[in-house]
Structure 1
Amino acid sequence: MSAKTLLKGMLAHQAWANDELVEKLVGLDSSGDAGERHAAIRLMNHIHVVSRIFAAHLNGVAHGYASDAPEPRALRVAVAEVDGWYLDYLETVPEQELAAPVAFTFTDGDQGCMTRQEMLTHIVLHGSYHRGEIGCMLAGIAVSPPWDTYAVHLHRAEPARRLQRGRQPADV
C-alpha cells in the first residue's frame, strides 16, 4: 500500500469522524451542561484551527489565526470544508512530494520543518486525540459519543469488506 493510499484512508476517516462528532455537538442541548458543551465545542474548534494552520503550511501561505469557538452548526460546515480540502490536496499532490520537507513557523513563533506526509499524519493524529477528549466530556454529561474508530469507518465506507469470505482472519 502506498503512503498516499494510506493517508487518503486516514484523512477520509478523519472527515467522517469529525462529522459524526460535530453532529453530536449540534444536537446537544445548549441549556444543559453548558460548561462541558462549551469546552467540547472549543476543543473541536481547536482541531479545526490546527487543521487550517497546517493547510496553510502545506500551501506556503500565512494562516492569520486568532479565533473563538463558533456555534456547532457553523463549526460543522467549517470542519467539513477543511476536511474536504485535505482530501482534495492529497489527490493533487504528487506522491514524491509527500516526502518533501516544508519549513514553517509554529503559532508560538518557533521554527518547524516536517515533510508533507508528517504534516498530514500529524493532522489525523491530532484530531483523533482531541476527539477522544471530547468523547470523554460527552460521556461525563451522559451523552454517548460517536463510535469513530478507523475500523468502523472502513466498514461503513466499504460495506463489502464485511462480506469478504475468501480470506482467513489474522491470528491474534
Structure 2
Amino acid sequence: MTCAMMKSLFGHKAWANAELFDVLETLPAGPDQHTAIRTMNHIYVVDRIFQAHLLGQPHDYQGTNTTATPTLSELRRAVTATDAWFQEYIASLDDGALAERLRFKFTDGDAGTMSREEMLMHVITHGGYHRGNVGQILKNVSIAPPRDLLTKFLHIADPDRRG
C-alpha cells in the first residue's frame, strides 16, 4: 500500500468518526448510549495504543478500554485529536517507512512485531468494524447510522470525481 492510499483511508476514518459522533449526539441517554460510547472509547484506546507502538513509546493502558466512561463530548474531542495525529503522522512518512517492522508489547504483555503498514491497517479495519457495531446499536433504536462509505468520502473530498 502507498502513503497516498493511507492518507485517503485515514481521511475517511476521521470523516466517518465525525459523521458518527454527529448522529450519536441524537441518541438519548441510557444503556444504548452507554454501550455506543464504550464501543467508541474502545476504538479510541486501541488507536492510542497503536500510536504509542508507532512512536516506540510506552502507554499507560492496561487493556483495550478504560474503566471510566468519558462523556460523549470528551470522547469526541479526544478522537478528533487522535485522528488528526494519524493524518499528520502519515503525511510525514514515505512508502519505504511503511514496511519498517517495529517491536512492541501487547496490553497482555505478549511481544509483537508488525510493520507500520500493518499497524496502520489494523487501526483502520478495527475502527471500521466497531463503527459498524455502533451503527447496529443506532438501527436497533430506529436511528439511521451515517453511510460512512469510502466511496462517499472520496467524492465529498474531491467533488471533481463526479464530473
> 2:69 and 2:11 mapped to 1: Cα distance?
24
> 2:126 and 2:92 mapped to 1: Cα distance?
23
How many residue pairs get aligned? The number is: 159
So what's the TM-score if we normalise by structure 2? 0.94
1:47 alignment partner in structure 2: 43
List aligned pairs for 1:5-154, cutoff 5 A.
5-30=4-29, 34-65=30-61, 67=66, 68-154=68-154
- Post-superposition CA distance 1:72-116 (Å, at most 9, x none): 111111001000000000111232111000010111111111000
Residue 20 of structure 1: how far off its partner (Å): 0.7
- Post-superposition CA distance 1:135-167 (Å, at most 9, x none): 00110011111110111111111111111xxxx
Maintained 8 Å contact 1:101/1:113: yes
Amino acid across the alignment from 1:102: L
> 1:65 and 1:122 mapped to 2: Cα distance?
18
Higher Cα radius of gyration: 1
SS at 2:148 equivalent: coil
- Post-superposition CA distance 1:9-57 (Å, at most 9, x none): 0010001001111121123222xxx111100110001001100100000
> 2:115 and 2:46 mapped to 1: Cα distance?
16
Which residues of structure 2 form unaligned runs of 5+?
none
Amino acid across the alignment from 2:85: W
Amino acid across the alignment from 2:27: L
Maintained 8 Å contact 2:135/2:145: yes
Residue 5 of structure 1: how far off its partner (Å): 0.6
Amino acid across the alignment from 2:149: T
> 2:21 and 2:46 mapped to 1: Cα distance?
16
Amino acid across the alignment from 2:110: D
> 1:111 and 1:39 mapped to 2: Cα distance?
30
> 2:129 and 2:28 mapped to 1: Cα distance?
24
1:3 alignment partner in structure 2: 2
Amino acid across the alignment from 1:162: R
Q: Percent identity?
A: 43
> 2:161 and 2:35 mapped to 1: Cα distance?
37
* Deviating 4+ runs (over 6 angstroms): none
